[in-house]
Amino acid sequence: MNIVLLLSALLLTIAIEWIVLRVMGEESRKILLYSMLINTATNLPLNIFVARAALSTQLTAELLIVLIEALLYCIVIKDIRKSFIYSTLCNATSFLTGILIELTILLTL
């Protein structure tokens, strides 16, 4: 996977997850910034790892990322339930958006 695609995926993920957090009512700049940092730490390794992997491997890796990010959110939020909700909804939304983008590209070729 080339650097442009990696950075594009990272920026899109940050934007999508920021929007999800705002829609959920999150106003804390600290948490929104923390979300960007979490995504920078987890998105790049994830995309490098799953670049050519089967969908089942991608889903397994995504579930692991949900757990890791929930624990990282919990450091700041101090509420494990809210941390898992944030992580699950943010990652599900960005994952499904990525699939829709890939399908759109494949269907237009």
Domain-by-domain residue ranges, the chain?
3-108
pLDDT digit string, tens, across residues 1-38: 689 989 999 999 999 999 999 999 999 999 999 999 99
The predicted structure's pLDDT at residue 90: 97
What's the pTM?
A: 0.90
Place of tokens 């920021």: 18
Residue 43 · residue 33 · CB < 8 Å: no
**DSSP conformation class of 53:** -
**105: Cα within 13 Å, side-chain hemisphere:** 6
